[in-house]
A = this chain, B = another copy of it.
Amino acid sequence: MTPLVRSRLGGAAPPGIKADVDRRPVTLEEVARIAGVSRATVSRVVNGVATVDRELRQVVEKAISTTGYTPNRAARSLVTRRAGAIGLVLPDEGRTVHDPYFGRVVSGVLPVIRPLGVQLVLTTGDHREVVDDIRQHRLDGVILIHTHATDPLPRQLIEANLPVVLAARPVRPMSITYVDVDQAAGAALAADHLISSGCRRLATITGPLETPAGQDRLRGFLDTTTRHGLPEPLVVEGDFSREGGAEAARHLTDAGLDGLFVASDLMATGALPILRNAGLRVPEDLKVVGFDDSSPAVECDPPLTTVRQPVEDMAAEMARLLVDRVDRPDRPVSSVVFAPTLVLRESA
């Protein structure tokens, strides 16, 4: 399909991968023998250590390319105590994996770590498995996404001083590296847009208010309406699910609203049919802004104006922070907060 991939294959295709699978693979030892140097010198060349004579380096490099040598990662891991792999931990297989958000994380992480020769290992949030994987040196660190308030895993990893990065601000403050979007700023973006579109009778369907995201989005929304001197908006708590959005919307159909901020696109997809069935036209009667810019936002009717998190960028940053922490565990934790943007579609 993509010419890029194909062209890259054409030239670089190794002289048959067969050789290495059927036969015993080439070892450092063998390269050393061919180059007429010691194993140590080949190792230096492979690992880019500077203290190798230029000519000798070239001889070694030639031997490497003619033999098609690739280092055995297990052997290297054994001595370096590095797995060369990081884990992406999913809370449970049932939900998150199906969330398009997950795919965006993956496509943000891969381009960062692959050039470093680091693998991305997918694993469930099963506590024991994650810890085991790290203890067995199968994982150098982990990215945790969608952890729940009650999940002891983050704290335990922190206490064990294991490299870990969270995909969101932790529920309770702790000394942990995380990457997040400025949730409140995103909600403010939504509120500002509604207000500047002429809406005056606002409401919001929030996320679960025990989550940081739920809290922050509500706060950003309310702060903005207050700043504009608008009356207290209607607030209905949702749970980030489609059904939760539908249920919340039922409380809003008779409120005479002209603007609604729904704290997640998924909830919005649940809410829209309810609103429509109640005779409210979106956006003519009621303008609706979502949050996440997930695929439901594109697919629903009308397509949703929504707050976009730069998930790929955030994921890439998580990968960078994690790799950095693996390399230098002593460095202080640092977190990064990204700015959201508003994506204009047809619902507001």
Instruction: Given A17-B156, A21-B160, A100-B100, check contact A93 B106 (CB 8 Å).
Output: yes
For residue A312, which residue of chain B has the nearest CB?
A: B93
Q: Mark A16-42, 1 if CB is under 8 A from B, else 0.
A: 111111100100000000000000000
Instruction: Give bound CA distance, A77 to B78, whole Å.
Output: 9
Name the B residues within 8 Å of A122 (CB-CB). Answer: 88, 106, 110, 120-122
Name the B residues within 8 Å of A123 (CB-CB). Answer: 110, 114, 119-120
Say if the beta carbon of A196 comes within 8 Å of chain B.
Answer: no
Name the B residues within 8 Å of A161 (CB-CB). Answer: 18-22
Name the B residues within 8 Å of A299 (CB-CB). Answer: 269, 296, 299-300
Total interface residues on A, using CB and 8 Å?
Answer: 83
Q: Which of A1-9, A55-63, A251-259 lies on the face that meets chain B?
A: A1-9
Inter-subunit contact B162/A329 (CB<8 Å): no
Inter-subunit contact B114/A18 (CB<8 Å): no
Instruction: Give bound CA distance, A310 to B190, whole Å.
Output: 39
Inter-subunit contact B97/A107 (CB<8 Å): yes
Instruction: Give bound CA distance, A25 to B125, whole Å.
Output: 23
Say if the beta carbon of A49 comes within 8 Å of chain B.
Answer: no
Name the B residues within 8 Å of A134 (CB-CB). Answer: 17, 21
Name the B residues within 8 Å of A128 (CB-CB). Answer: 8-9, 12
Say if the beta carbon of A133 comes within 8 Å of chain B.
Answer: yes
Name the B residues within 8 Å of A21 (CB-CB). Answer: 134-135, 160-163, 329
Name the B residues within 8 Å of A137 (CB-CB). Answer: 25, 72-74
